[in-house]
Chain A
Amino acid sequence: MTEGSSAEAELSVRVSSIRITDVTQDGDVLTFAIASQKLNSSAGVCVFRTYEDFDWLQQSLFSQENLPGLHGIIFPPLPSKALPSQSNTQTKALKQLGFLALGQAWQSYSKALEFYLQQVATHPTLCKCNALDSFLINSESPGRQRGRKGIFNRLSQAVEEMRKESHKDVDNFFQNERIKNTNLAALSKVATEKLLDVVMTEQKLALACGHFSTSLHLCVNQDDAAAVAFSKVCLKLSDIIEAVKRNFEKAGSSNLSTLGLGLDLESRYQEAEKEMLFRRTCKLIELETVKKSTEKAKANKREVMEAFQKAVEKEFSLISSVAKQEIERFHSSRVNVLKNFLIGWCEQQLNTAKEFAELYSQHLEACRNMYTE
């Protein structure tokens, strides 16, 4: 798989060190600081990239030449472009990006981009692409050149396309995989949305607690002894509600940064697999069409057609074999990824529960002592 000047070099940075360390916003433009460590030295590298650069990288990956079976690769999904302008309300952002729109200062979004880079860098084929290395270490950004139109990611659901999607497969393995993938893609999308609803409600609750706590604080009145006693009680309740608010904030934030990100990633990856399977199906349809044409061809054209058919067959077979490997790799890696997210989620929620159990108990103890005097 190593010809010509394109996708060839090995990656010159340590894969596990790739991080997005900072994100700044200037009007409409988000700039990400990407840090990594050089493989052969302890030197670190830091570059600044915008979304256009990420898009350039993705397009470069799509359009690699002389990579047989390229269409069979499940390309790591790049999150949609964030539109941070003022006119973009939170509801619009949520619709567009889901979980990635939440969190402080584009943290979730940065995390998702970081995952993307890590996944490209760990992909056995894609990591060799020049574009990746240049993306990570060149101080100059790769330029705003329009990447060559590589693989068309399906953007519209034309009726034609829907028909192709359900085209029967010649291979049982792929037929089953397509069905399972369709199912999982739909279900994980729904689960992501439902969890998002939960997190949004947690935010509303934190806000409501904040209001309540503030209102209680305003009940303070020092006019006489009775008023002072009552004020103390109100302040105590205010403190407690403030704690409940922080509780919601923490729980919501944990939901977001672990399970939320995990489900979002899973859902987008299922879509990526869907894209790949569709590409293969299209190739299959092409092959079947060519076969039919060849059969009908007149004698003088037949040789040419047959050669053409052989070429298409070869392409299809390469795609299928790459696809098979990709699918197996995907199956095992997604399980690992989900496992880590689930563990992280559980541990964070457990810690939050312990922290607040302790805090509420302290309050309870204090109140019991105070009030029995």
Chain B
Amino acid sequence: EDISSSSNGPKAEPMLLDHDPDDLFAEATEEVSLDSPERQMILSDGPSPAITPVTINPRADVFDRSPDQDEDEEENRDTFDIQISVSDPEKVGDGMNAYMAYKVTTKTSLSIFSRDEVCVKRRFSDFLGLHSKLASKYMHIGYIVPPAPEKSIVGQRLGRRSSAVTELDPDAKACLCCRYLLRTVKQPALLKDPDVLQFLESSELPRAVSTQALSGAGILRMVNKAADAVNKMTIKMNESDAWFEEKQQQFENLDVQLRKLHASVESLVFHRKELSVNTASFAKSAAMLGNSEDHTALSRALSQLAEVEEKIDQLHQDQACADFYLISELLGDYVRLITAVKGVFDQRMKTWAKCQDAQVMLQRKREAEAKLQHANKPDKLQQAKDEIREWEGKVQQGERDFEQISKNIRREVGRFEKDRVKDFRVVIIKYLESLVHTQQQLIKYWEAFLPEAKAIA
């Protein structure tokens, strides 16, 4: 079975990685996900996971997104017309090597795709592999790469210092993967990326190179991540641009707020499931009461009462689905996205640090050359001059990189903020639609029951 949350293996998401894209995430037979260093710090105080298996069956129409509805003037795209769905989770193989395969369907009129409609089969690790490739290609130049779909969500319960792990069932995972792909293709740069195209179109995808969870390479990666985290903490950047400082602070605040909200919604979902169970239990007891009742009309009314309560139980379950799929998952997505955003800011800092290091080096080389001038060693002098030129080039490159990443981040953050508002608005409308639907059903049930109650005696 799955590895419990108390033994998190290495993370599948190389957030701060500069490595060779083929050296991929850890993939045991059962896929696990590690949290990023930031998360690790939040979770480190004595987690005692309360496993609340949420088995929610999503209605097909509750979550049905396509990103094409809104025009993004700034992006200079013409009709952005692409629909993606991830469905039909299917178990493939058996025993230790079994895995879930998902059907990924892409419908589009865009010319970069070779066909109007493509259908491929992908497994969960394929999604993680795609993310890994994209992250290593784009993160260091300031693109916010949508975070990989995680197998389990870790939320923090309000008021409790333990973290609750919610295992996703295959349908929920399918939704998660779908949202991941949609966010990815919404990024114009990523849409054109050959890895993305290959993922969506080609029938055979090379298996991501797998390494065992706690292999030597895995441990090495963990160490590198730790080193990165330490480096991040010791980089004191001279921020010349107030915008970046403000934005970083905003994202810190947003991160805290979103996690709190996510925990709140999890509580809501939990209690709604509880309500469903209690309603069903009450329905049964009412039915038994109706069966034992001698008075015919009263007996009938009590049986009807039981039926109404059963139907209401179903409504509670559906509403819990809406709570979960619409709000909880949205918040979860954004918590993960913020991590990606923070990662990009970190990349900028690293780029700056690199540039600084190059300048320091250049300075040293100049000093060395100056010394050699006096020492009169012509051959070494030439080498010194060469090195100076080399490092001047590096400094220039570093400055260009820094400018580029700063520009990219500004644009990305702007896009992120617009999308954020749009995403939330879409969810609010869908949620309201579910609320209205529930009430209308309730009205029907009560209106049907009323004459039964009046008909007693």
A interface residues (Cβ-Cβ under 8 A, vs B): 180, 183-184, 187-188, 190-191, 194-195, 197-198, 201-202, 204-205, 208-209, 211-212, 215-216, 218-219, 221, 223, 226-227, 229-230, 233-234, 236-237, 240, 244, 331-332, 335-336, 338-339, 342-343, 345-347, 349-350, 353-354, 356-357, 360-361, 363-364, 367-368, 371
Contact A233 B428, beta carbon cutoff 8 Å: yes
A244-B435, A361-B436 in contact; A202/B275 too (CB < 8 A)? yes
Contact A360 B449, beta carbon cutoff 8 Å: no
Contact A346 B421, beta carbon cutoff 8 Å: no
Q: CB within 8 A of B446: which of A183, A240, A335, A349?
A: A349
Interface check B62, CB cutoff 8 A: no
Contact A229 B274, beta carbon cutoff 8 Å: no
Contact A208 B264, beta carbon cutoff 8 Å: yes
Contact B449 A346, beta carbon cutoff 8 Å: yes
Interface check B395, CB cutoff 8 A: no
- Interchain residue pairs with CB less than 8 A apart (23): A191-B282, A205-B271, A209-B268, A212-B267, A221-B253, A226-B417, A229-B417, A230-B424, A237-B431, A332-B457, A335-B295, A336-B457, A339-B456, A342-B305, A345-B453, A346-B449, A350-B446, A350-B450, A353-B442, A357-B442, A364-B429, A364-B436, A367-B432
Contact B261 A184, beta carbon cutoff 8 Å: no
Q: CB within 8 A of B428: which of A215, A219, A221, A367?
A: A367
Q: Which residues of B contact A335 (CB under 8 A)?
A: 295, 297-298, 456-457
Q: Which residues of A contact B289 (CB under 8 A)?
A: 184, 187-188, 191
Q: Which residues of A contact B442 (CB under 8 A)?
A: 349, 353, 357
Nearest B residue to A202 via CB reads B275
Contact A360 B432, beta carbon cutoff 8 Å: yes
Q: Which residues of A contact B284 (CB under 8 A)?
A: 194
| A247 CB, min distance to chain B CBs, angstroms | 8
Nearest B residue to A336 via CB reads B457
Nearest B residue to A354 via CB reads B443
Interface check B33, CB cutoff 8 A: no
| A131 CB, min distance to chain B CBs, angstroms | 32
Interface check B292, CB cutoff 8 A: yes
Contact A218 B264, beta carbon cutoff 8 Å: no
Q: Which residues of A contact B417 (CB under 8 A)?
A: 226-227, 229-230
A218-B257, A338-B298, A339-B453 in contact; A187/B305 too (CB < 8 A)? no
Interface check B361, CB cutoff 8 A: no
Contact A211 B432, beta carbon cutoff 8 Å: no
Contact B158 A197, beta carbon cutoff 8 Å: no
Counting from the closest, the 6 A-B pairs by CB-CB distance are A357-B439, A226-B417, A350-B446, A212-B264, A194-B282, A339-B456
A226-B418, A343-B454 in contact; A357/B440 too (CB < 8 A)? yes
Q: How far is the CA of A234 from the CA of B436 in the complex (A)?
A: 20
Contact A194 B436, beta carbon cutoff 8 Å: no
Q: How far is the CA of A346 from the CA of B431 in the complex (A)?
A: 26
Q: Which residues of B contact A349 (CB under 8 A)?
A: 442, 446
Q: How far is the CA of A194 from the CA of B294 in the complex (A)?
A: 22
Q: Which residues of A contact B105 (CB under 8 A)?
A: none
Q: Which residues of B contact A367 (CB under 8 A)?
A: 425, 428-429, 432
A191-B289, A339-B457 in contact; A212/B425 too (CB < 8 A)? no
Q: Which residues of A contact B357 (CB under 8 A)?
A: none
Contact code string B37-53 (vs A, CB < 8 Å = 1, else 0): 00000000000000000
Contact B250 A227, beta carbon cutoff 8 Å: yes
Q: How far is the CA of A136 from the CA of B454 in the complex (A)?
A: 34
Nearest B residue to A201 via CB reads B275
Contact A221 B446, beta carbon cutoff 8 Å: no
Contact B260 A198, beta carbon cutoff 8 Å: no
Q: How far is the CA of A180 from the CA of B421 in the complex (A)?
A: 62
Nearest B residue to A255 via CB reads B282
Contact B292 A187, beta carbon cutoff 8 Å: yes
Q: How many positions in chain B have a CB within 8 Å of any CB in the partner chain?
A: 59
Q: Which residues of A contact B450 (CB under 8 A)?
A: 343, 346-347, 350
Interface check B72, CB cutoff 8 A: no
Contact B433 A364, beta carbon cutoff 8 Å: yes
Q: CB within 8 A of A208: which of B257, B267, B286?
A: B267
Main secondary structure of the interface of A (DSSP, over half): helix
Nearest B residue to A366 via CB reads B432
Q: CB within 8 A of A342: which of B272, B285, B425, B453?
A: B453
Q: Which residues of B contact A219 (CB under 8 A)?
A: 254, 257, 261
Q: Which residues of B contact A211 (CB under 8 A)?
A: 158, 264, 267
A195-B282, A354-B443 in contact; A240/B431 too (CB < 8 A)? yes
Contact B421 A229, beta carbon cutoff 8 Å: yes
Contact B282 A346, beta carbon cutoff 8 Å: no
Nearest B residue to A349 via CB reads B446
| A334 CB, min distance to chain B CBs, angstroms | 9
Contact A198 B257, beta carbon cutoff 8 Å: no
Q: Which residues of A contact B449 (CB under 8 A)?
A: 346
Q: How far is the CA of A344 from the CA of B95 in the complex (A)?
A: 57
A221-B250, A364-B429 in contact; A197/B281 too (CB < 8 A)? yes
Q: CB within 8 A of A201: which of B254, B278, B295, B431?
A: B278
Interface check B288, CB cutoff 8 A: yes
Q: CB within 8 A of A350: which of B292, B305, B431, B447?
A: B447
Q: How far is the CA of A230 from the CA of B281 in the complex (A)?
A: 41
Q: Which residues of B contact A198 (CB under 8 A)?
A: 275, 278-279, 282
| A226 CB, min distance to chain B CBs, angstroms | 4
Q: How far is the CA of A34 from the CA of B431 in the complex (A)?
A: 48
Q: Which residues of B contact A201 (CB under 8 A)?
A: 271, 274-275, 278
Q: How far is the CA of A134 from the CA of B33 in the complex (A)?
A: 76
Q: How far is the CA of A223 from the CA of B439 in the complex (A)?
A: 38
Contact A204 B295, beta carbon cutoff 8 Å: no
Q: How far is the CA of A190 from the CA of B292 in the complex (A)?
A: 13
Contact B443 A371, beta carbon cutoff 8 Å: no
A338-B456, A339-B456 in contact; A363/B295 too (CB < 8 A)? no
Q: Which residues of A contact B414 (CB under 8 A)?
A: 226
| B260 CB, min distance to chain A CBs, angstroms | 5
| B436 CB, min distance to chain A CBs, angstroms | 5
Q: Which residues of B contact A336 (CB under 8 A)?
A: 457
Interface check B246, CB cutoff 8 A: yes
Q: List 9 additional A-B contacts (Cβ < 8 Å) besides A191-B282, A212-B261, A361-B436.
A: A184-B292, A204-B274, A219-B254, A335-B457, A338-B298, A339-B454, A343-B450, A346-B450, A350-B443
Interface check B168, CB cutoff 8 A: no
Residues B234-281 near A (CB distance < 8 A):
246, 250, 253-254, 257, 260-261, 264-265, 267-268, 271-272, 274-275, 278-279, 281
Q: How far is the CA of A247 from the CA of B406 in the complex (A)?
A: 48
Interface check B301, CB cutoff 8 A: yes
Residues B399-445 near A (CB distance < 8 A):
414, 417-418, 420-421, 424-425, 428-429, 431-433, 435-436, 439-440, 442-443
